[in-house]
Chains A and B, each alone.
Chain A
Amino acid sequence: MGKRFSRGGFDTTAGGGGAGASSRKRQKVVHEGPTHEEIHASRQLSQLLAFGQDAVRLRHGLQSFKIFLDHMLSGDDNNGVDDKADRSAILRDYLRSVQPRESGDNGGEGSQQPYVTDIMQTWSFANQTNNENLMSAVPVVLALLLKVLSRSLEMVPFGLGICRTLLQKRQLELISRNLSADKGKAFIISPTLRMLREAVSFDGGAVAKALFRARASTFKSLVRNMGIVHMGEEAEDEKKPSPRTTAVLFFLSAIKYLHAEAKKELVSQRDIVAALTRDLKQDPPYLVLEMLAKLREGVLMDDKVPKEAKGGLLNVSTLVRIAGLYQYRQAEDSKLPSVVDAAHGFLMTACTTPGCGVLRMDQGFYPRDVDLEAVLPPAELDELGLEAIVWMNRYKKEIPVRNYTLANFLPNLRPWASVKQSDLVTAIFKVAPELVAAYFRENKSFTFDPKLSATWIGYAAFLFKTVTLPLPEHFSRGSGFPQLPPPTTVVIDNILPLPLNQKALVRCLTNKSNMVSFFATRILVVAMEKLDAAVKMYQHPSHTNGALWAEAARRLVDEFCQRIPGMKDMINSYRSIPETDILHREAASRLLRLCYEVTPQVALMAKFDVSPFLEKSLGQLSEQKHEDARDLAMSLKELESLLAIAGYSPGMRWFSTSEALALSPFTMLLKACVDAPNGVSLDGIRRALDSVAVEQQLVPAQDGHPGLLPLLEALQSLGQSSPEVIAHIWAFLDNCLTRCGTSPIKYLEMIQEHAQGLNSSETEAVASPLAVTILEQLAFAISAGDKDVLGGLGKFLPKLFGLLATAGESKALLDAIYAKIAAQFRGSKLKLAHKKIPEGAVFKQNVWPPKERKPTRRANETTSSNAPKTSEEAMDDDELQATLGVDDSLVVDNSALVKWATKAVDELIDDGYVISLIKLLASEHASIRKEALVNILKAAARIRESEHEEKEQIWLLLSELAETARAGHIETGPLPSPAVAFACHALTALRDPLSSLYPKINQFLVRGPAWNLDRLPLVDEVLLEEPAVGDSYYAQVNWLLGYLIEGLRTPKDLELFHKRRAKGPVLEWVLALAANPYMRLPLRTQVLRFLYRITGIEGGSTTLTTRFGIVNWLEAQEKACAEGNEAEKMLTRMYSGLKGWVWRTCDQERAGRWSKGGIKELL
């Protein structure tokens, strides 16, 4: 495109006279502006415009008329004529005088008499004489005239007449000639386009249709003219628009007034569409805004324009060019709306509205080439599962999509660099879910490796937004789920897009920048929640192929676990967050909680003791450091997550105090509830407290008993009436709660003793065991003689007992206990506020009676990942495997023999190198075992020489293991699996001196240089002896079961479990564990995992059936499950499923004989 000469309209440029200009040869041009005169009368105007052969006079007349019209448009009346009305009258009179007298036929444009004949003749003359100045001057005047006429209703008929005149053949030829003038002749082209624009929009587009019909002339050279852009350094002057600008404006006016059919034809022309947007980035802002608005109204939103035509306009290159406007530079002081906003709005509409021709209906998470209607033979599905679906594993590299325009458009956007582009991409993902997986599979160049930069943050934000997108209902567009589940790769890519791989996420979590780890944590939180939602959809009861969907769900979860960081990394990340970073801590604790709820297989692999975190969080809460109430509320959310985790972890120590904490976690929580400012919602914490109180038998478990509410009410009431007193009684109360919680039986018996002391009708009387604990401990408090404490209790106890009575506990029993309390007070000469239990105590701080109370199990236990199905049907084999199956972790890796040698001692111990060596002792090959033994001894020696804090114990453990292995003749066979598993688990426990197993393992190690391989280490110590560390009994049982399960691999291993011992076989002890009514879902499940593991060993199910009556045991457990509770339902399903499984896997003939057909009958 050549540079355009700065020759403007005819008013600024003088040609060398009409005759001179006809010569092709360039002559020296004498610039002489046209002359003009002021117009005072219509007759004068007629004379000025009258046609003649004198080109100079004709120019003079047109120029005078132009200035006259300019004044009318600008309203500038300082040039001799009094007012606008006069000018209008002059014009009207003139037009009347030149109006065609009689039009013979009003119907056809061609047959009509021409309007403004003189001007039209002048145009023809200019054309014949090739007078370019006149060729320009005529359309200039006509454009202005039409503009003036369009403003007055009275004048409209004249304007229409002129428009129709333009449509006559002669004029069309002139228009065509003007439009196709040399591209350097902008001063001819632009006014002509301006005139056409006025004509097409005149009187609401009255002649638009006719103008379009004459498109051979009126749209002549449009594409070429759209390409004649403004050249030069400075921005285009709005008053002197380039031919491109005028051509585009004409086109847009045509779009506005034309009918759908015509618009379809226009936008279907590729060259026009291409020309329209080619130079978009350089166009002045008003033109871009106009274009976006007109195309949106006139094409996108016009339902009559067919989708295909719209699609023709909105092809990839148009979209890319419009997206180029995201970088449009607009003057800061521009009064126009923002071009970037307009372009964004346009693209949002164009790309996400179904009727705009870009967006196509996809199949959700099912790629384009999957036939959702295809039916696979059920037998094949039953036999092969997901493997029967040929396309299930196909989409690892490429995913065919229906939205190819959008798929090709998306890579041109930079969502990490701009919020709007990120919004656009995610909005497209939302309406076309098939694109998410395809986008990330095909654009692999961008990695998520952490870097503290704007780009990384932008990318993280974009990924977060992508992950938060909802899953398509039914994974597809149908009204129900398709028969087959969607490809796992597509679903997982929507939950954790490809850049979010394990390596990158671990690097983010361990990054030294807290913000990087915060962003990664947030993404993981929303991904976990999305996975949970997806799994629920897989488990929907409406699936006809439940087993197949269950298999797919397992695969999805497995795939997810492969992509997320290990639990250890998440725990370490949480641990490293500064205490003051409450947003970060909230997110990280929520992530851990979700791990327990959504992927328990990952969470339970790591030994995570939540108590220290809970203690820390409670400690902070009690210090009440928060100045902002909202910070407090946010910290409470963290606390809620931790409480939920505590509910899932089998070994939470509710009643143990530590050096860091004056009170036990339970009392701390209680205190937090009492101290919490009004308006802080504590429902979650209260629920947790209540369920612990019931489980630990602090309060009676009877239905209808309000649990801890009376205690809480009494404390809150005391806090209100005597705030200075309450601080003194916490230590006493904690002592009572701890004692009652750790030895509930003792106090239950004391209650019974008190009840028996009453008359016979009260032997079944109910009272809180806490009441007698208080009575028992009061004696010590009185002998200690702290007046503050006793003064506080003097006020508190009457309140508490009054409320216990109101709550429905036995008044007689409470009276009896209270009387003893009162007697102790009398003895001490200290004052008890009431001598008898006050009557009619009222709950003021809490709602009474409580609206709803779930007496036994914690609410959050219901949200287990293996969400219960609606009915309590038995688990099928697949579900059993998913819930109870534990992989064989003693699989040997021979490379462990060499790997450890180059590692530091810390790594040997913490990263599992030593454990890998230990596992080799279970290898089938004698040479490997021998080699392992040598290496274990070498490693032990190295550890002993190191600075490791636990070096002595670990050395001892390894040395004893080596000694045991030698004595056990590893030359002839592998070391029994339980010994190997014990060594591995003991090593992990020894690493952490705070582990509750630490003392027991050390005691075990100092007992002798080698272990008795006929015995299972620590079974009696854990199951029969005191836990030694606080209330860690359940944690220790969990640890024990963990190693026992791992140690069950061969029939020989199993023998150790059912072998006769003085105290009975170990297996019996494990079964007896389940008799504990307070054991919760995780530990019960662990017992069932243990049994399930045995069924996998040859002869295991038969042994269980014939030696241990397992079917009856399972039957009894199933019947003991309470109704209504989700966790119980889950257990019922497990028991029932396992029963069937044991029968199917045992020697049925033998078991049948043994039970005399009883089992079969039972089943």
Chain B
Amino acid sequence: MSDPQPRKTDKEVSSEFTSYYLQRATKEFAEDLDKVRTADDFKNDAIHVLVNALQQGTAMFAPEKQRRVVETKLTK
């Protein structure tokens, strides 16, 4: 990583963090999510409700904390 990457805008950070959070949550609760999908009341808007419910947890992370997570690199 010789050339420094341009600093991401807050919006980019937020959207990247949200997508990470959602992806992570889907992975952690895959089994439960499958069960919800087969529940009787899973119809119409339910998928939006579910996605929204999972990703709203990003509100628990202040913008600078989101940036810290998003900008972490695994290179030594």
Q: Is the pair B56, A461 in contact by a Cβ cutoff of 8 Å?
A: yes
Residue B11 is within 8 A (CB to CB) of chain A in the complex: no
Q: List chain A residues, Cβ under 8 A from B36.
A: 452-454, 457, 515
- For A465, the chain B residues whose CB sits under 8 A away are 56
Q: Name the distance in Å between A38's Cβ and chain B's nearest Cβ.
A: 54
Report yes or no: A583 in contact with B53, Cβ–Cβ below 8 A: no
B contact residues, total (Cβ < 8 Å): 37
How many angstroms between the C-alpha atoms of A628 and B21 in the bound complex? 12
Main secondary structure of the interface of A (DSSP, over half): helix
Contact partner of A454 (CB less than 8 A), chosen from B29, B49, B65, B71, is B49
Known contacts A525-B60, A629-B72; is-contact A515 B41 (Cβ 8 Å): no
- B73 vs chain A, min Cβ distance (A): 4
Partner of A581, one of B28, B41, B76: B28
Q: Do A419 and B48 touch (CB < 8 A)? A: yes
**Interface residues of A toward B: which range?**
35 or more
Asked if A377 is at the interface (CB within 8 A of a chain B CB), the reply is no
The digit string for B48-72, where 1 denotes a CB below 8 A from any CB of A, is 1110110011011000010011111
Q: Is the CB of B50 within 8 A of A679?
A: no
Min CB–CB distance B39 → chain A (angstroms): 4
Decide if the interface of chain B is mainly helix, strand, loop or mixed: helix
Contact status A630-B72, CB under 8 Å: yes
CA distance A182 to B54 in the complex (A): 56
Q: Which residue of A lies closest to B30 (CB)?
A: A515
- CB-CB < 8 A to A582: which residues of B? 24, 28
List residues of chain B with CB within 8 A of the CB of A460: 53
Interface members, chain A 489-517 (any B CB < 8 Å) = 513-516
Q: A678–B32 contact, CB under 8 A?
A: no
CB neighbours (8 Å) of A681 from chain B are: 68, 72
Whether A680 contacts B53 by the Cβ 8 Å rule is: no
Q: Which of B24, B49, B56, B70 has most A Cβ within 10 Å?
A: B49
Contact call A453/B39, Cβ cutoff below 8 A: yes
Interchain CA distance A633-B53 in the complex, whole Å: 23
Question: Which residues of the other chain, A, contact B25 by a CB distance below 8 angstroms?
Answer: 518, 583
A806 within 8 A of B: no
Task: Give the residue among B36, B42, B44 with the most A Cβ atoms within 10 A.
Answer: B36
CA distance A1134 to B28 in the complex (A): 46
B28/A629 in contact, CB under 8 A: no
**What CA separation (Å) do A634 and B57 show in the bound complex?**
13
Chain A contacts with B in 449-470, Cβ cutoff 8 A: 452-455, 457-458, 460-461, 464-465, 468
Cα–Cα, bound, A460→B75 (Å): 39
In the complex the two chains form, what is the Cα distance from A581 to B53 in whole Å?
17
Compute how far the CA of A457 lies from the CA of B21 in the bound complex, rounded to whole angstroms: 17
Residue of B nearest to A455 (CB): B41
Q: Which residues of A contact B69 (CB under 8 A)?
A: 630, 633-634, 637
Complex CA distance for A468 and B73, rounded to whole angstroms: 31
> Is A580's CB within 8 Å of the partner chain B?
yes
How many A-B pairs have beta carbons closer than 8 Å: the answer is 117
Does any Cβ of B come within 8 Å of A631's Cβ? yes
Task: Kindly state whether residue A677 has any CB partner on chain B within 8 Å.
Answer: yes
Interface pair A514/B32, CB less than 8 Å apart: yes
B28 and A514 contact, CB distance less than 8 A: yes
- Taken together as a complex, chains A and B put the C-alpha atoms of A629 and B35 apart, in Å, by 30
Which of A422, A518, A628, A637 is B65 in contact with, Cβ under 8 Å? A637
At the interface, yes or no: A526 with Cβ under 8 Å from chain B? yes
Taking the complex as formed, is A418 at the interface, i.e. its CB lies under 8 A from any CB of chain B?
yes
Q: Given the complex, which residues of B lie within 8 Å of A457, measured CB to CB?
A: 36, 49-50, 53
For A464, the chain B residues whose CB sits under 8 A away are 53, 56-57, 59
- Report the bound CA distance from A519 to B29 in whole Å: 11
Q: How far is the CA of A476 from the CA of B23 in the complex (A)?
A: 40
Across the interface, which residues of A come within 8 angstroms of B74, CB to CB?
626-629, 632, 677
A677 CB contact (under 8 Å) in B21, B32, B72: B72
**A627 CA / B23 CA spacing, docked (Å):** 14
Complex Cα distance A587/B46, Å? 24
A584 touches B (CB below 8 Å) = yes
Say if the beta carbon of B40 comes within 8 Å of chain A: yes
Q: Which residues in B have their C-beta under 8 angstroms from that of A454?
A: 36, 39, 41-43, 46, 49-50
* Cβ-based interface call for A417 (8 A): yes
Pair B72/A680 contact, Cβ less than 8 Å: yes
Determine the distance from Cα of A680 to Cα of B24 in the docked complex, in whole angstroms.
19
Q: Is residue A522 within 8 Å, beta carbon to beta carbon, of the partner chain?
A: yes
Q: Do residues A679 and B73 form an inter-chain contact, with CB atoms below 8 A?
A: yes
A526 to B70, CA, bound (A): 22
Alpha-carbon gap, A629 to B73, bound state (A): 5
Write out the residue numbers on chain A whose beta carbons fall within 8 Å of the beta carbon of B20: 630
CB distance from B19 to the nearest CB of A (A): 10
Per a CB cutoff under 8 Å, which of A513, A522, A628 touches B32?
A: A513
Known contacts A417-B45, A457-B53, A515-B33, A587 near B60 by CB under 8 Å = yes
Contacts of A630 in B (CB 8 A): 20, 24, 69-70, 72
In the bound complex, do residue A458 and residue B53 qualify as a contact, i.e. CB atoms below 8 Å apart?
yes
Task: Evaluate whether A526 and B49 lie within 8 angstroms (CB atoms) in the complex, with A455-B41, A678-B75, A680-B72 already known.
Answer: no
Taking the closest CB of chain B, its distance from the CB of A738, in whole angstroms, is 28
Q: Which of A679-708 contact B (CB under 8 A)?
A: 679-681
A465-B56, A679-B72, A680-B72 are contacts. A452–B28 as well, Cβ < 8 Å? no
Q: How far is the CA of A1089 from the CA of B31 in the complex (A)?
A: 48
Q: Mark A549-593, 1 if CB is under 8 A from B, else 0.
A: 000000000000000000000000000000011111001001000
Cβ distance B49 to chain A, nearest Cβ, rounded Å? 4
Q: How far is the CB of A683 from chain B (nearest CB, A)?
A: 10
A647 to chain B, nearest CB (A): 19
Give the distance in Å from the alpha carbon of A581 to the alpha carbon of B26 in the complex. 11
CB contact under 8 A between A419 and B45, given known A678-B75, A681-B68: yes
For the complex, give the distance between the alpha carbons of A165 and B18 in Å: 63
Determine the distance from Cα of A461 to Cα of B36 in the docked complex, in whole angstroms.
Answer: 15
With both beta carbons as reference points, the residue of chain A lying nearest to B55 in the complex is identified as A461
List the B residue with the shortest CB-CB distance to A577: B28
- Asked whether, in the complex, the Cβ of A587 is within 8 Å of the Cβ of B57, the reply is yes
The smallest C-beta distance from A459 to any residue of chain B, in angstroms, reads 9
Distance between A419 CB and nearest chain B CB, rounded to angstroms: 5
A515 touches B42 (CB 8 A): no
A457 to B37, CA, bound (A): 12
Given known pairs A457-B50, A460-B53, A583-B25, the reply for A452 and B32 (CB within 8 Å) is yes
Contacts of B45 in A (CB 8 A): 417-419
CA distance A1115 to B57 in the complex (A): 48
B50 to chain A, nearest CB (A): 6
- CA A883 – CA B74 in complex, angstroms? 45
Determine whether the beta carbon of A583 is less than 8 Å from that of B52: no
Q: What CA separation (Å) do A461 and B65 show in the bound complex?
A: 22
Contacts of A461 in B (CB 8 A): 49, 52-53, 56
B72/A632 in contact, CB under 8 A = yes
| A418 near B39: Cβ-Cβ < 8 Å | no
Contact status B32-A583, CB under 8 Å? no
Q: A418, A516, A677: which contacts B76 (Cβ < 8 A)?
A: A677
What are the residues of chain B within 8 A of A526 when measuring CB–CB?
Answer: 59-60
CB neighbours (8 Å) of B65 from chain A are 637
| Complex interface: chain A residues within 8 A of B42 (CB) | 453-454
- With contacts A461-B52, A583-B25 taken as known, whether A522 is within 8 angstroms of B57 at the C-beta atoms is yes
Does B39 contact A452, Cβ atoms closer than 8 Å? Answer: yes
Residue of B nearest to A580 (CB): B28
Name which residue of chain A comes closest to B25, CB basis: A583
Question: In the complex, A514 Cα to B24 Cα: how many Å?
Answer: 14
7 cross-chain pairs, A with B, having the tightest CB-CB distances, nearest first: A461-B53, A515-B32, A454-B46, A633-B72, A515-B29, A629-B74, A629-B72
Apart from A461-B49, A464-B59, list 7 A-B contacts with CB within 8 A. Answer: A453-B39, A453-B42, A457-B53, A464-B56, A581-B28, A582-B24, A679-B73
Give 6 CB contacts A-B under 8 Å: A454-B42, A515-B32, A628-B74, A633-B68, A677-B72, A678-B75
